[in-house]
Amino acid sequence: MALSGIFLMVFLLQHLLINLTSLLPDDGKTFNIISHFMGYNPLVQFVLQPILIFGVFFHFTMGIILEYQNKKARNLKYVYHKTRSSWISKNMIITGLVILAFLALHFYDFWIPEMEYKYINNMLPENERYFHELQEKFHSSLTKTIIYCVSFILLGLHLRHGLASSFQSVGITSTRQRKLTIIANIYSLFISIGFTIIALFHYSTG
Ligand code: HEM
């Protein structure tokens, strides 16, 4: 669970860094070049992408199984004590399910049309389309932009707690905990605010 979470965090960071290039004042040139490279590179398409999809599937399935086991253990074996842990730490399953729902929408918006374009309609590579497609998605719908932004806030909270607890699971000592909590806070804020700025930017300028 912890390792698949850390793997997904590395993916998210590169995904954000690539998408941040769509904010550069070059009419989407850099974003188009990188997106085209990622979209047609065989290593990315046929090795890294399947690993990523498996990682997402594994993380969510394990999360749901763990939640089910924890609930069963609490109900059957122990008297449930009120703890001082935060709402987020007790409800990782809820933020996780919201992120899963977001991902379904996100795949419908970007990934499925891309797969259709390349592998079903067999369209010729057209390396200038990515930026306009991105702008159009956000600019055409305020509701979608809001759903995306709310998901990014919950994603940030999920990451913050997930990252902190994954450090514990991989055996990092408590003397390092303080520093790592700061890193977890910076990382999750960066991801959450970074994606939100991208969505709002393209909504307002697309
Ligand atoms: C404003 C924010 C975001 C934008 C503009 C964006 C954009 C995109 C685009 C254009 C693609 C299609 C890539 C392709 O196959 O050619 C994509 C795929 C994907 N996105 Fe996002 N994304 C955003 C946020 C997120 C977030 C927050 C997550 C995870 C929680 C995420 C997860 C994924 C995944 C798993 C894929 C499919 C794998 C891939 O092809 O790279 N994205 N995204």
The reported pLDDT for the residue numbered 89 is: 81
Per-residue pLDDT, averaged over 196-200, amounts to: 98
**Least confident span in 39-48, 84-93, 146-155, 186-195:** 84-93
As a whole number of angstroms, the distance between CA 151 and CA 101 comes to: 9
pLDDT of residue 49: 95
Residue range 58-69: average pLDDT?
A: 92
For ligand 1, whether the C-beta of 188 sits within 6 Å is no
Report d(CA 48, CA 154) in Å as an integer. Answer: 26
pTM of the model: 0.90
pLDDT per residue as tens digits for the range 101-138: 999 999 999 999 999 999 999 888 888 899 999 999 99
158-189 pLDDT, tens per residue? 999 988 887 777 677 677 778 888 999 999 99
Going from N- to C-terminal start, the domains of the chain cover: 2-205
Residue type, 89: S
15 lines ligand 1 (CB under 6 A): yes
Examine the pLDDT at 85 and tell me if it is beyond 70: no
Contacts of 100 (CB under 8 A, 6+ apart): 60
Ligand 1: which residue has its CA nearest to atom 11? 110
- Using pLDDT thresholds of 50, 70 and 90, give the confidence band for residue 84: low
Statement: residue 45 has pLDDT above 70: yes
Instruction: For ligand 1, say whether the CB of 106 is within 6 Å of any of its atoms.
Output: yes
Residue recorded with tokens 């090795």: 47
- What's the pLDDT at 82? 54
2-205 folds as 3 helical TM bundles of succinate and fumarate reductases (1.20.1300)
